[in-house]
Amino acid sequence: MCGIVGYVGERSALEVVMGGLRRLEYRGYDSGGVALIHEGTISSAKKAGKLLNLDAELKANPIADGTTGIGHTRWATHGAPNDRNAHPHLDSTGRIAVVHNGIIENFAALRAELEAAGHEMVSETDTETVAHLLHDELESTDDLAEAVRSVCRRLRGAFTLVICDAQRPDIVIGARRNSPLVVGRGKGENFLGSDVAAFIEYTRDAIELGQDQVVTITRDDVVVTDFFGEPAETKEYHVDWDVSAAEKGGFDWFMLKEIDEQPQAVADTLLGRHSIDGLLQLDEMRLSDDELREVDKVIVVAAGTSFYAAMVAKYAIEHWTRIPCEVELASEFRYRDPILDRSTLVVTISQSGETMDTLMAIRYARQQRARVLSICNTNGSTIPRESDAVIYTHAGPEVAVASTKGFLAQVTACYLLALYFAQIKGVKYGDEIASIIGELEKTPTGIQRMLDEADQVRKLAAELSGSRSILFLGRHVGYPVALEGALKLKELAYIHAEGFAAGELKHGPIAVIEEGLPVFVIVPPRGRDQLQEKTVSNIQEIRARGARTIVLAEDGDDDVVPYSDHLIRLPRVPTLLQPLVATVPLQIFASEFASQLGHDVDQPRNLAKSVTVE
């Protein structure tokens, strides 16, 4: 939440900072702003709303450019999303400019103290207090980094701060606690960003910053210390994607591009997981097989769409390994006093690697001595760094706020984890595991087919775009798919959409079915477990009450034909793998539905990607 950019170099800082903000806009789009150092003064512009508004403002009232600058795109927490509360915030002399991501929890006390000392605040934000505190610190030291460290020691809560000082034209300082910040290393230039997308156009060499660290960038140097000025350890890494991955590439929306990339995302997540002897290997796994053999309970913790991947994981882990598995919303986990010990493995799932609820769950679990393994898509992010082990999904950068390829890659990684457990616990023969992997390796073809057959889904979305309520039903792993279908529609189309376990409908929700209500039903593959038959009965029950049924069923399942107003065919896959193909038409439906209503598909209202507040 909130995107931050900092730059020191020889290029136009305005161009670099605005370019970085454009690529970070998915992190928040309530307002945008820049501050640049020009001949010993700060020139700054800020505007409420999307960056287009800031672009227009800069065109109407150009500001002096420089080669050092900072910028911000906001997801509002303290203070309404207006021009006044937009970042950067300046001290009263206009010498210091500050941008911030996070929440400073003790800001009210700090603000009262500053006001009592005669400082005049012009915004309602917590951020502005930092500019004033720095102003005071700089009365007693010339060292900007020391002043920042001293202020950071006084702050509580979560913050990434990026700061520039008109009197030090070739320095930008960053500080982080609980919110993300990475360094981009260039030649004769250096960058700061909430994530690497901020500077990917210029460099793919990045430095991960740790908790409670302050970084000073100049053209040629990067110096990192802790909040007390002691040199700090950092980790350098090379980003394995380039700027083209962070661009729309001819698609109208990032979301459409990301939906289209799903066969690759799944294939890349599966890639290189076999050792020479045919065994499954997870090479980012920092837990030994012996440690994993000790595990007698798994708890999968995540938020939003990632939570639905966690629900799929539960089915796979319990079915394939017989290890008891719970799933828990990250925002609830640490407040219910969960029973954890050394033999509990907490698995967290996060596309961004920065979700605060999930990060707090990890810290809590580790305090209770549980081991934590994270499934994550973002190298260099906080969650993998704070976990005992990590399995990276290889979906590439996800820019659209609504997660799509991130989800499919997460589900794939969950299957890999479950199968790995089955292998090391010896509860499945090698050829059984190899056969499931073989099925998994076929799914990119099935996903591609769903993409190729998307026209019928788009037509359906256009037809139904007047609906104000749509339901989604599923059983078994089709249940999380139903929940995900409903979430996508809610967040993009802003209509009422709800997912239910199909068997649960008769216990109450069936009362909402009325003539013409569209209901999607994900039908499990036919098998020994009667799941398909039971779901077909559920379709009959709702159709008898007037629902307009949109049925997703595998090829050859003719039982559903008499009860389907619309039938979307799915490729045949084993039951547990069905989410990989069944989710795709629901994503396409939601994006098309939102387009029909004229909504911004990539940046839905009130939302931001990477939720770094609790």
- What is the closest distance, in whole angstroms, from the C-beta atom of residue 30 to ligand F6R in the complex? 17
Q: List, as one string, the DSSP characters of 155-175.
A: --EEEEEEEEETTEEEEEEEE
Q: What gap in Å lies between CA 560 and CA 523, rounded to an integer? A: 9
Q: What gap in Å lies between CA 332 and CA 364, rounded to an integer? A: 12
Backbone angles phi, psi at 85, to 5 degrees: -85, -5
Q: Which is nearer to ligand F6R, 90 or 457 (CB)?
A: 457
Tokens representing 139?
């009365």
Cα 505-508-509 angle, rounded to 5 deg: 55
- What is the closest distance, in whole angstroms, from the C-beta atom of residue 279 to ligand F6R in the complex? 29
Q: SS3 of 152, please?
A: helix
Which helix (DSSP H) or strand (DSSP E) does residue 437 occupy? helix 430-452
Backbone angles phi, psi at 60, to 5 degrees: -70, -40
- What is the closest distance, in whole angstroms, from the C-beta atom of residue 544 to ligand F6R in the complex? 33
Which is nearest to 193 in space by CA: 24, 38, 321?
24
- What is the closest distance, in whole angstroms, from the C-beta atom of residue 349 to ligand F6R in the complex? 7
Go through 344-373 and write b for each residue having 16 or more CB atoms within 10 A of its CB, e for each that does not: bbbbbbbbbbbbbbbbbbbebbbebebbbb
Which is nearest to 315 in space by CA: 426, 415, 420?
415
Among 76, 166, 402, 547, binds ligand F6R (CB under 6 A): 402
Q: Which is nearer to ligand F6R, 44 or 306 (CB)?
A: 306
- What is the closest distance, in whole angstroms, from the C-beta atom of residue 607 to ligand F6R in the complex? 8
Amino acid in the structure at residue 290? D
CB-CB contact of 577 with 439 (8 Å):
yes
Q: 485: exposed, middle or buried (C-beta count within 10 Å: 0-12, 13-18, 19+)?
A: buried
User: What is the torsion angle, in degrees rounded to the nearest 10, for the CA atoms of residue 428, residue 432, residue 435 and residue 437?
Assistant: 10
Q: Which is nearer to ligand F6R, 89 or 314 (CB)?
A: 314
Tokens representing 194?
């909430």
Q: SS3 of 140, please?
A: coil
* Look-up of token digits 């569209």: 518
Backbone angles phi, psi at 393, to 5 degrees: -90, 150
Q: How far is CA 503 from the centre of its chain?
A: 31
- What is the closest distance, in whole angstroms, from the C-beta atom of residue 601 to ligand F6R in the complex? 12
Binders of ligand F6R: how many residues, by CB under 6 A?
A: 15
Q: Which is nearer to ligand F6R, 8 or 266 (CB)?
A: 266
Contact stretch for ligand F6R (CB under 6 A) within 203-211, 245-253, 300-308, 435-443: 300-308
Among 19, 33, 180, 304, binds ligand F6R (CB under 6 A): 304
Q: Which is nearer to ligand F6R, 495 or 510 (CB)?
A: 495
Q: Which residue is nearest to ligand F6R (CB)?
A: 304
Q: What gap in Å lies between CA 569 and CA 525, rounded to an integer? A: 11
Neighbours of 252 (CB within 10 A): 12
Residues 437-476 vs ligand F6R: string with x where CB under 6 A?
A: ----------------------------------------
Among 295, 303, 325, 582, binds ligand F6R (CB under 6 A): 303
- What is the closest distance, in whole angstroms, from the C-beta atom of residue 583 to ligand F6R in the complex? 11
Q: What gap in Å lies between CA 397 and CA 334, rounded to an integer? A: 29
Is residue 262 a contact point for ligand F6R (CB under 6 A)? no
Q: Which is nearer to ligand F6R, 68 or 583 (CB)?
A: 583
Contact stretch for ligand F6R (CB under 6 A) within 75-83, 201-209, 304-312, 582-590: 304-312
Chain positions 342 to 361 lying near ligand F6R, rule: CB under 6 A, are 350-352, 355, 358
Q: Which is nearer to ligand F6R, 177 or 490 (CB)?
A: 490
- What is the closest distance, in whole angstroms, from the C-beta atom of residue 408 to ligand F6R in the complex? 12
Among 85, 379, 403, 603, binds ligand F6R (CB under 6 A): 403
Chain positions 488 to 517 lying near ligand F6R, rule: CB under 6 A, are 491
Q: Which is nearer to ligand F6R, 33 or 304 (CB)?
A: 304
Mind telling me the catalytic residues? 2, 609
- What is the closest distance, in whole angstroms, from the C-beta atom of residue 497 to ligand F6R in the complex? 13
Contacts of 516 (CB under 8 A, 6+ apart): 546, 547, 548
Q: What gap in Å lies between CA 606 and CA 467, rounded to an integer? A: 22
Among 483, 502, 611, 613, binds ligand F6R (CB under 6 A): 611
Among 31, 44, 129, 305, binds ligand F6R (CB under 6 A): 305
| Beta-bridge partners for 312 | none
Contact stretch for ligand F6R (CB under 6 A) within 118-126, 302-310, 500-508, 539-547: 302-310
Residues 64-93 vs ligand F6R: string with x where CB under 6 A?
A: ------------------------------
Q: What gap in Å lies between CA 460 and CA 454, rounded to an integer? A: 10
Q: List, as one string, the DSSP characters of 449-478.
A: HHHHTTHHHHHHHHHHTT-SEEEEEE-TTH
Among 123, 306, 374, 412, binds ligand F6R (CB under 6 A): 306
- What is the closest distance, in whole angstroms, from the C-beta atom of residue 75 to ligand F6R in the complex? 12
Contact stretch for ligand F6R (CB under 6 A) within 36-44, 233-241, 284-292, 298-306: 298-306
Q: Which residues bind ligand F6R (CB under 6 A)?
A: 303-306, 350-352, 355, 358, 402-403, 487, 491, 610-611
